[in-house]
Amino acid sequence: MNGTLSAELVIDVGNTRMKWAVFDHGRLTTTGSAAHGDLPALESAVDGRPLRRITLGSVARPDESLARSLAVLAPVKEITGASPSPVHSRYATPSTFGVDRLANVAGAASLFPRRPVLAIDLGTCTTYDLVDGLAVHQGGIISPGLHMRAQAMHAYSARLPLVDPPAETPVLGTTTATSLAAGSHHGLLMELGGFIAAFRQQHRHLAVVLTGGDALRAARALKSGIFAHPTLTLIGLHALSHYDPDNRPAAHS
């Protein structure tokens, strides 16, 4: 029966919310987000269409009740950081590799085939993952995300306030609050620019793709031919769900 169906639901369960996408014949058609465990929102997303498959990837704690509920709609395939991938990885501890990073690597490689690509996810943490032109994941970097930087300065000091940096933040602050905002915002941008420049020296024609909650903000600030792709993780989860370990891509229909 599944061979006659074309629609698939892909769900990325993050630390704070779920993101979802509907693919039809392998093409992403609609996207959205919902609160954790909001099954009615996911049912509304598919709008009554029969599904071939539901793909679920989670960086949060496993929600077995959600998986059981989704199984009523269609067969569920859960992706983890240890799932087979079309991109060979040199990561020495695959059991600790997050499913979001695995998906970002697969998504970046599918968007930029035969080209080196740096996938950067600007979420709770900022993660960098480098894939070379031969589709080999060389490794990555994890550093504090934008809001984690602000929270750390507040939490580990006696008198510094918690400041959420606005998108338009001067380089120099003239108050404690604006100085904190400048440190968080421009500190992250300087880090991004430094890593991107270093990897571009090592890999000619390097593509850079940003995803995550602060991706668009960072791409606008960097202004150097960098792609902001909010659905990168979902595209990667979809690619992983169709990967055949025997190196034969699974059929979409």
Give the three-state DSSP class for 252: coil
N residues, the chain: 253
Backbone angles phi, psi at 181, to 5 degrees: -60, -40
**Closest-CA residue to 83 (of 71, 69, 101):** 101
Report the pLDDT averaged over residues 135-155.
Answer: 96
Q: What is the DSSP string of 158-186?
A: SSPPP----SS--SS-SSHHHHHHHHHHH
Q: In sequence order, what are the beta bridge partners of 30?
A: 22
Residues of the chain above pLDDT 90, percent: 72
* pLDDT, position 137: 97
Question: How would residue 155 be classed by pLDDT, with cut points 50, 70 and 90?
Answer: very high
Active site members = 100
Question: How would residue 1 be classed by pLDDT, with cut points 50, 70 and 90?
Answer: very low
* pLDDT, position 248: 53
CA distances to 45, 111, 115, 175, 224 from 145, rounded to whole Å, are 30, 24, 27, 23, 21
Predicted confidence (pLDDT) at residue 242 exceeds the cutoff of 70: yes
Q: What's the chain's average pLDDT? A: 91
The domain 2-79 belongs to what CATH superfamily?
Answer: ATPase, nucleotide binding domain (3.30.420.40)
CA distance 144 to 133: 28
Strand arrangement, sheet containing 18-24: 27-34, 18-24, 7-13, 53-58, 76-79
CA distance 64 to 52: 20
Of 56-60, 210-214, 228-232, least confident by mean pLDDT is: 56-60
Residues of the chain above pLDDT 70, percent: 95
For CATH 3.30.420.40, list the domain ranges present in the chain: 2-79, 88-233
* pLDDT, position 220: 87
**Closest-CA residue to 99 (of 115, 114, 121):** 121
CATH of 88-233, one of 3.10.105.10, 3.65.10.10, 3.30.420.40, 1.10.3720.10: 3.30.420.40
Encode pLDDT of 25-80 as tens digits: 989 999 999 998 899 999 998 888 899 999 999 987 767 888 888 998 999 999 99
Report the pLDDT averaged over residues 89-116.
Answer: 94
Predicted confidence (pLDDT) at residue 192 exceeds the cutoff of 80: yes
